[in-house]
Every structure is written in structure tokens, then in C-alpha cells.
């Protein structure tokens, strides 16, 4: 049932990367609960523009949970209180009338703030460029039965490949570790024959890029998997460790 709620938004405002930031409160009146969280921010931004104030900068693109662009740390959770959903898939019906909703950017040294709620997640692209691909030309698609892949492996590879690279895992981690993201990318290839060929090189390159960019050491707290909008599993991290250690012992 649709109804309207009024609440206070407490938003992190920061004019630029080097600027001092701080929270600013905005009263929101009569927002329909069927509004998505980002639509609600659009409404606020329109009001701000009308008043001649600077609108709030936040990342978004597809608004259907597939691009990984939206972020936002809402009421203590990356992507807000819903599980298995991105910020763009979050609706105001999750919140209550009279509540104060705190909205913060991802906070991690490797994700510096660009402006307000927008952070620089280029580090993820750099890790991907270090080895998150298959480097040979696979040619045209062959008959699906030519390379047999066990259903369980195919499923797990597919599950790992659903990672959208949003960075919620890093935002959730008290160690600022990117292990869930990197392990998902390593796993999606390592589980399939086409990716297997370069598995050792890939895992070493991606881990060393991850370390170089200053992400933390994973202590297996599991906050990443609990907050991941795509439910990427913790077992991927064990697989990454296994792939990495085996590759190093073989050297």
C-alpha cells in the first residue's frame, strides 16, 4: 500500500576531494513510499536547485541493479538496509515516518571522495586491467557440447560473474579489503576451462595490483558477503587464496 512519509535526511556534503566535509540535514515532506531512494534524492536535488543551492552529487546510472554505479552508505549499511539489492533497488517503504536517515559515501582509503557522496572507484578498474580477462582470442562460438563443463562449476562461475563491481564489499570492510570483489573476478574465470589456462598468472597479477593500490588484508569477518547486493559468497575468497597459494608454491 502506498502511503506518504516525512523524515530527516542527514547527508554528507563535501565540496571537493581536499575540502573539509560535514553532515547537513534536510527535512523531507510527504514522500510516497513507492519512491525509490534515488528518486527521493532527485526530488531533494530539484528542491535544492530551485532554491539556488548546490545539488547533492551521487553516482548512479542504470537504476536497475546491473551497472554497479550507485553506492551510498545508508543507515549503517552499504546499499542501505535491504539485502541482496543495490541502492537503486531500494524503496522508501523500507523507512519509517519521522526517522532520520543518514547517508554517507563509501569510506575507504582506496576510494577517495570526489564530491559529496561520490567516490573514486578507479582502483577496481585497475585491478581488472591487471588480469581480469581472457587474453587470447576465443574465436567464434563453438557447439556448446564441445567443451563439457559440470553444471556445478558453471553455476558457481555464473554466480561469481554477477558481481557488478560496486565496491560495497570494500565499504563494509573494517580492513578496507577488496578480497570479495577480486575473488569473484578470479573465480568466474578459474572455474571455466577457457579461464583456467591463465588462472595462475591472473590471480598473481590481480592480487599484486590489489595490494599495490592499498587495499587491506582480509581477516575473514564476512561483512562483505553480508552486505554484497549480489550475494557473492565468502567461499570465493577461499578459492582466491587457494589459487594464489598454489600458484606461488608452483613457482
Partner 1 sequence: MWLTNSSVGRKMVMGVTGLFLVLFVTFHVLMNAVAIFSAEGYNAICSFLGANWYAILGTLVLAAGFVIHIIYSFWLTLQNRRARGNDAYQVSKRPANVEWASQNMLVLGIIVVCFMIVHLVQFWAKMQLPELLGEHIEPGMYFIETTFSQVWVLPVYLIGFIALWFHMTHGFWSAFQSLGANNSIWLERLKATSNVWATIVCLLFAIEAIWFTFML
Give the interface with ligand FES as residue ranges (CB under 6 A). 60-63, 65-70, 86-88, 164
Q: Given the complex with ligand FES, which of 164 and 228 has the nearer CB atom?
A: 164
Burial 229-247 (b: 16+ CB within 10 A, else e): bbebbbebbebbbebbeeb
For the CB of residue 36, give the shortest distance to ligand SF4 in the complex, in Å.
19
Q: Given the complex with ligand SF4, which of 5 and 180 has the nearer CB atom?
A: 180
Opening angle at CA 85, ends 46 and 179, nearest 5 = 115
Q: Given the complex with partner 1, which of 137 and 152 has the nearer CB atom?
A: 152
Q: Given the complex with ligand FES, which of 40 and 240 has the nearer CB atom?
A: 40
Considering the rule CB under 6 A, would residue 219 count as an interface residue with ligand HEM?
A: yes
Site stretch for ligand SF4 (CB under 6 A), options 41-49, 93-101, 178-186, 209-217: 178-186
Size of the site for ligand SF4 (CB under 6 A): 14
Question: If 0-12 CB within 10 Å is exposed, 13-18 middle and 19+ buried, where does residue 227 land?
Answer: buried
Q: Residue 86 binds which entry of ligand FES, partner 1, ligand HEM, none, with Cβ cut-offs from 5 to 8 Å by kind?
A: ligand FES
The grid coordinates listed for 210 are 590489489
Residue 103: φ, ψ to 5°: -120, 120
CB 117 within 8 A of CB 183: no
Amino acid at each position: 500500500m502506498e502511503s506518504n512519509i516525512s523524515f530527516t535526511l542527514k547527508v554528507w556534503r563535501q565540496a571537493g576531494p581536499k575540502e573539509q566535509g560535514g553532515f547537513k540535514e534536510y527535512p523531507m515532506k510527504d514522500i510516497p513510499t513507492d519512491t525509490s531512494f534515488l528518486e527521493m534524492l532527485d526530488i531533494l536535488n530539484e528542491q535544492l536547485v530551485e532554491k539556488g543551492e548546490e545539488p547533492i552529487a551521487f553516482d548512479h546510472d542504470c537504476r536497475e541493479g546491473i551497472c554497479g554505479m550507485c553506492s551510498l552508505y545508508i543507515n549503517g549499511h552499504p546499499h542501505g538496509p535491504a539485502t541482496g539489492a543495490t541502492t537503486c533497488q531500494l524503496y522508501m517503504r523500507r523507512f519509517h515516518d519521522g526517522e532520520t536517515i543518514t547517508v554517507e559515501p563509501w569510506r575507504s582509503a582506496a576510494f577517495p571522495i570526489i564530491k559529496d557522496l561520490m567516490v573514486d572507484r578507479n582502483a577496481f578498474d585497475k585491478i581488472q586491467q591487471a588480469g581480469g580477462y581472457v587474453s587470447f582470442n576465443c574465436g567464434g562460438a563453438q557447439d556448446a557440447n564441445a567443451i563439457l563443463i559440470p553444471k556445478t562449476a558453471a553455476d558457481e562461475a555464473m554466480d561469481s560473474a554477477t558481481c557488478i563491481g560496486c565496491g560495497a564489499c570494500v565499504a563494509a570492510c573494517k580492513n578496507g579489503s577488496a578480497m570479495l570483489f577480486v575473488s569473484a573476478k578470479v573465480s568466474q574465470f578459474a572455474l571455466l576451462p577457457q579461464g583456467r589456462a591463465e588462472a595462475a598468472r591472473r590471480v598473481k597479477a590481480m592480487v599484486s595490483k590489489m595490494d599495490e593500490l592499498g587495499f587491506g588484508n582480509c581477516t575473514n569477518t564476512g561483512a562483505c558477503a553480508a552486505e554484497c547486493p549480489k550475494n557473492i559468497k565468502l567461499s570465493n575468497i577461499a578459492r582466491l587464496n587457494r589459487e594464489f597459494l598454489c600458484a606461488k608454491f608452483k613457482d
